[in-house]
Amino acid sequence: MEINITHIDTACVLLEINGYKILTDPTLDGAGGTYYHGFGAFSSKTSSPAVAESELEDVDLIILSHHQHKDNFDIKGKAFAFKNGNIISTKAAAKEMDGVKGLDDWESFEVKTDRLKNLKITATPAQHRPWWIPEFVSGKVIGFIIEFDGQENGVIYISGDTVYFDGLVEVAKQFKIDVGIFHVGSVQFRYLTGLGMYTMDAKGLLKAAGLMKPRLVIPIHREGWTHFKEKESDLELIIKDDTHFRDKTLFLESGVKTRI
């Protein structure tokens, strides 16, 4: 079983599993725009996609952790998703957008394909906010478990935008994780909620990885927007100082297909 991953932009990666192509959180706008994310939160995009949209036209499935924030689902990303169809996301996304299969936490959906036997996508809980902020402010977010026949060392886990919280403990209890793809970046809107984080920083990533014990850790959603407050260089230094996970962590080079 050959599995390849290509980082495109922010939390957007292309997973190619035995030829079946899964795209996550489509962000396809170029750098330079300023976007409103709701409840007074603004930020600007500082990165551009490393892969041309024309190279993604044969994507088979799109999994979208949430639809309400532009750093996970921007203007061109949204247009691309609806053009290609076959989208799995939250129940909230399904209510607002036609053609989306919405999942609640722990709900699964079996995807029919001849290229990947018994492919199943399961939604996992995520907390995209500091603990003192109510969920309606940031909106519902999910992560994903990707399962299919032939996974000898465990499943693929994608965290979605989340901080470290008790829901991750439940993920670790229910699944053996082979590859963990974690959204980091230490998202903060300091003029609104101070130092409260909306995604993990390096310390949160190491705590989650220590809990789940994946064979391979892949940090994404780590640069590209002005509301990401942990520098990528600082993230890499903290990971390299960790004797357990420094050799298990893969920092993807954007636009480069990498076998995992």
pLDDT (tens digit per residue) in 119-144: 999 999 999 999 999 999 999 999 99
Dist CA 168 CA 138 (whole Å): 18
- Residues of the chain with pLDDT > 70, as a percent, come to 100
Q: What is the pLDDT of residues 146-189, one digit of tens each?
A: 999 999 999 999 999 999 999 999 999 999 999 999 999 999 99
Whether the predicted pLDDT of 235 surpasses 90: yes
Q: What is the pLDDT of residues 173-184, one digit of tens each?
A: 999 999 999 999
Sheet holding 12-17, edge to edge: 100-103, 87-90, 61-63, 20-24, 12-17, 3-9, 258-259
- The angle at the Cα of 16, spanning 198 to 163, to the nearest 5 degrees, equals 10
Instruction: Give all domains of the chain, ordered by start, each with its CATH number.
Output: 3-252 (3.60.15.10)
Please report, for residues 51, 65, 96, 259, the alpha-carbon distance to residue 14 in angstroms, rounded to integers and kept in the order given: 10, 14, 25, 12
pLDDT of residue 33: 97
Whether the predicted pLDDT of 246 surpasses 90: yes
